[in-house]
Chains A and B, each alone.
Chain A
Amino acid sequence: MSDLADPNTGQIRWRDLTLRIKRYDPEKDREPHWQEFKIQAHPMDRVLDVLMKVKWEQDDSIALRKSCAHGICGSDAMRINGQNNLACKLLVQNVKGKTITVEPILGLPVIKDLIVDMKPFFDHYKAVMPFLVNDDPAPTTERLQTPEQRARFDDTTKCILCACCTTACPPFWGNREYVGPAAIVNAHRFIFDSRDQGAGERLDILNDSEGIWRCRTVFNCTSACPRGIQVTQAISEVKRALITGVVDIPEEAEVLS
C-alpha cells in the first residue's frame, strides 16, 4: 500500500470515513433506505474510489455506473453531500466532515441504488435535433469556418451528457416534461455553429410549452456542471435569439469569401 503514501513525505495519510449510501433494490425493498459503511480512505482518493472499495471489499451488490474514472464519460453523476457531481471528479480531501453521503440524482426514476433511468433525459436531448443540419452539397474538402466562428460555440461542445445540470434544476424536479438545461446546451451547440441551417426548427422546438421558458434562471445548472460550461449563459443566448429573432454568429471574415 506504499503507493498511497504522500509523494513528498512517504507518510500514508489515511482518513476514517463513513460512507452513507441511499440504497434501493427493487427486488427486495419497498422503499429506499440508508446504509452506512466504515472505510479508510486516502485524501487523494476520488469519491468513486471510496465507493468501489466498499463495493469490492464489503458488498458487491451496491449498484452504480462508472467507466472512465476521470470526468470525461459522464457515467457517475450522483448527489454527494447534497450537491450533484461526478463521483470520479471529487476528491475525499475536498469533502467536508467525516461522512460522505451519496444518493441518486433527483428527478429521474431510480432503478437500483445510485442508478436512475436515463431514458427521459436522453429523449429530451434527442428531441432538440442535436446534429448538424446542412443540406447544401458537401464540398470535396472541408466546409470553411473562421476561428472566431468556431469559438462562438466552443463552450457548449464540452457537454458529456452527464445530467448533473438537468437533475439539479428545480423546474425539472417539478415537471419531467421540461426539456431541461442539458438539451438546451446541446441545441445551443448547433444553433450557433456557422455551418448549421437548422436553427429555426430548433428554436421552434424550444419555444414549446415544455421548452426553454420553463427555466426560471436559478443558476443551479451552471454550478452543477462538472465541465464548467456556462449553462445559464447558453440558455440566455438561446432565449435572446428567440426574442429578437436574430442568431448572432460572427461574420465570415474576408479570407473565407
Chain B
Amino acid sequence: MSTPTYHRFESIIVGSGGAGLMAALHSSKEVGTAVVSKLYPTRSHTGAAAGGIAAALSNIEDDSWENHAYDTIKGGDFVVDQTPVEILCREAVECIYDLEHMGLPFDRTPDGRISQRRFGGHTRPVPGNPSKREPVMRACHAADRTGHMILQTLYQQCIKQGVQFFDEYHMLDLIMVDGECRGIVAIEIATGRLHVFHAKSVLLATGGFGRMFKVTSNAYALTGDGPAIAYRHGIPLEDMEFYQFHPTGIYRLGILLTEGCRGDGGIMFNGKGERFMETYAPNMKELASRDVCSRSIYQEVQAGRGVNGKDFVYLDIRPETINRFKSSPLHKDGKDVDEHFIESRLSESLELSRTYLGIDPLKEPMPIQPTAHYAMGGTPTDFETRVLRNAAGEVVPGLYAAGESACVSVHGANRLGTNSLVDLVVFGRRAGKAMAQYAKSQDFREIPTDADAPTRKQIDTALAKPRTEPWIRIREELQTVMMDDCGVYRNTEGLARARKKVAELKSRYESTGIQDKGTVFNTGLLEYLELGCLIDLAAATVASAESRKESRGAHSREDFPDRDDVNHFNHTFAMRDGDTGVRIENRPVDVVYIEKDGQKVPKYPLEVRKY
C-alpha cells in the first residue's frame, strides 16, 4: 500500500473539545503544535453542555475555593484525589476570568459581573451556623448554552493565534517505543490516507464513551478511542466502574434535559402521580445528586410504578405544578413562577421537548428515563496530566491525557454538575503548559520507518473480511447488555452475564467485516473501528465493576449495598491481560493532611454522603 504522509510537531493534541483546545492554546504559545480531530472542532460534544461551569467567584454569594473542594470530594464519595481537587477549585477562578477575557459571553449580574446560579451538590456553610450547609450560587453560565460558548470561544482564539488543525483526521494508533510515546497514526477521512505524526508530547483529549450504553446523552463520536487505544498498549484504565447516569434523559432518545429543570423547581412523578423523590431523599427531593435520582427512577420502574407500567417517569416543569409545590428558588422570596420565567431560564430544554417529543412542557409533563452521561474513569494521570503506566504511579514519558477521557481523578465515584467543564479548562491548560515544557527539554526520538504498519494491517483486515453479520447488531447487543447488567444497578450474576456476553461479542466482532471497501469517507470502516474501542472499554468496565464489592457514588451493587472504606477506599486500575483478559490493581487515594493540635489529620475526613 501507499506510504503514509509524515509530519513532525513538538506537540500533538488529539481531540478538539474544551480540553484539547485549551491545551492547544497554551502549547502553541511555546512550541510547534497541531490539533488532530476526527470532527471539525466546533462539532465536539463540549458544545452540548448546557448548565454551567463552576468556580467560586463570589459574585452573588460569598463562597471560597475550599467550599468547592469540599463539595467535589463529598460528591465523589471520597475516592477523589485531593491534591488535584484543590488545584481544580483554586485555578477554576483564574480560568473563568481567562475565558471572559477571551470573549466568552457569560450572562451578567445587574452590576455587569459574571452571573452565577445554583447547581446540585454545590454548597457553603450557612453563615452564622457553619455546621450546616446550604446551596450556593457557583455555576457561571451563558444562557443554557455554556458549553457551546466555551467551545466557540476557544476555537475563535485558536483561529486568532493561528493554531494548526488537522480536521477530520481520525487517530487509530499511538506510536510507542521503549515505553515512551513518540507520536500517533491517523487516517485522513476524506482520502483514506494514513498520516504519521512524529511528536515529543502527545495529548489524548478524545472525550467520553457513553455510546457503550443503549440510552445516552453522548454524541455518536463518543466512543472512547483515546483510552481504548492506550489500553491496547498496556496503559491502565482507572475507575471505569464509576459511570454516571443522569436522571433526566428524554425517553428513548437519551437527549439530556438539563439539571436546571429541577433546579428551577421541576418535579418528578411516577405513574401513580406520586412525587416519589419524597420517599428517597426527603430533604433534597429532586435536588438530590444525580446518582440518587437515577436509582430512584429505576426503583420506581422496577416496582411497576413507571408511567403506564413502562420504563419512564414524568418530569413536570409546568408553572402551576412548580407553584403548587413551591419548589422554585423564587418561592423563597414569596414569588410564583410564570410561563415567561420558565421560558427564559430553560429555553433549550423547552425546545428539545417540543422538537423531539412533540410535547410543550408548559402544558404537559415530559417522559424521562436515566441516560448514560459521564465517565468518571478513563486514562489515569497525575495532576500535571502525565499518563500513569501502573498503579504505582510511574509515568509514560511523552503521553498526556485531559478532559473526560482522562481520570486525574477529581470526580471520584460521581461528578457534580458543572465540574466537567471546569476540569477541561483547568487541566487542559495544565496539559498544554506541561507538554510544551517537556517538548522543549527533549530531542525528537526515533520512530520506526513502518510506524503505520499495525494500523495498515488493522484496516486491511477489516476490509478483507466478509461481512458474516451486520456489525450494528453487535453494537446493539453490547449497548443493551451494558445498560441492563452494568448500568444504574449491578450485581454478581448480571456482571458475570455481561462479562461472558462482551467476550462473545468480541469474537463475533473479530470475525465480521464491512460492506464499504472504498477509501474516501469510509464512515462504515470508522464506525466499525470505533465499535472495537467500545468493546475493549466495556470489558474493562465490567471487570472493574466486578472487583468493587461495595456501593459508592454511581456504582451501586445490589449485593453489596454499603460503602466499604476498609477494603475499597482506593482507585481501580484495569490492565489489559492477554487479548481478552483484564487484571485489576488498586491505587491508594491521594489524601491531603493538615496540622491540628500538633497532629497530622486528614483535611477532608471521611463522612457518610447524605443529601
Contacts and interface: CB of A to CB of B under 8 A. Distances in A.
Contact of A70 (B312, B352, B367, B472): B352
B470 A56 contact: yes
B480 to A, nearest CB: 11
SS class of chain A's interface: helix, strand, loop or mixed?
Answer: loop
Contacts of A115: 521
A70 B113 contact: no
B281 interface: no
Nearest to B140: A142
B520 A111 contact: yes
Given A111-B190, A131-B103, A142 B114 contact: yes
B47 A144 contact: no
Contacts of B106: 142, 150
Contacts of B527: 60
A146 B112 CA distance: 4
Interface string A189-211: 01001011000000000000000
Contacts of B39: 67, 73, 75
B220 interface: yes
Contacts of A7: 251, 307-308, 310, 312, 367
A128 B472 CA distance: 43
A144 B42 contact: no
Contacts of A111: 190, 520-521
B523 A131 contact: no
A142 B97 contact: yes
A243 interface: no
Contact of A130 (B159, B357, B470): B159
A61 interface: yes
Given A61-B516, A61-B524, A141-B97, A147 B472 contact: no
Contact of B42 (A93, A112, A161, A195): A161
State which size class the interface on B falls in. 35 or more
A56 to B, nearest CB: 4
Contacts of B521: 63, 111-113, 115
A27 interface: yes
Contacts of A60: 470, 514-516, 524, 527
A69 B520 contact: no
B160 interface: yes
B220 A67 contact: yes
A190 B107 CA distance: 16
B472 A57 contact: yes
Interface stretch (A95-103, A151-159, A215-223, A229-237): A151-159
Contacts, number: 172
A244 interface: no
User: Which residue, of B101, B159, B308, has the highest number of chain A Cβ atoms within 10 A?
Assistant: B101
Contact of A3 (B45, B252, B356, B520): B252
Interface string A120-132: 0010001001111
Nearest to A153: B105
B157 interface: yes
A246 interface: no
B97 A146 contact: no
Contact of A256 (B112, B253, B367): B112
Contacts of A17: none
A190 B104 CA distance: 11
Interface string B209-223: 000000000011100
Interface string A40-66: 000010100000000111011101111
B170 to A, nearest CB: 13
Given A130-B156, A153-B105, A56 B472 contact: yes
B100 interface: yes
8 contacts: A10-B308, A69-B253, A72-B48, A74-B42, A122-B40, A134-B101, A142-B100, A142-B101
Interface of A: 3-4, 7-8, 10, 25-28, 44, 46, 55-57, 59-61, 63-75, 89, 91, 93, 111-113, 115, 118, 122, 126, 129-132, 134, 138, 140-147, 149-150, 153-154, 157-158, 160-161, 190, 193, 195-196, 253, 255-256
Given A4-B252, A68-B219, A72-B148, 13 more contacts: A7-B307, A56-B470, A60-B515, A67-B220, A68-B220, A74-B43, A111-B521, A122-B40, A140-B97, A147-B108, A158-B145, A160-B42, A160-B148
Interface of B: 39-40, 42-45, 47-48, 96-97, 100-103, 105-114, 142-143, 145, 148-149, 152, 156-157, 159-160, 190, 219-221, 251-253, 255, 307-308, 310-312, 352, 355-358, 367, 470, 472, 514-516, 518-524, 527
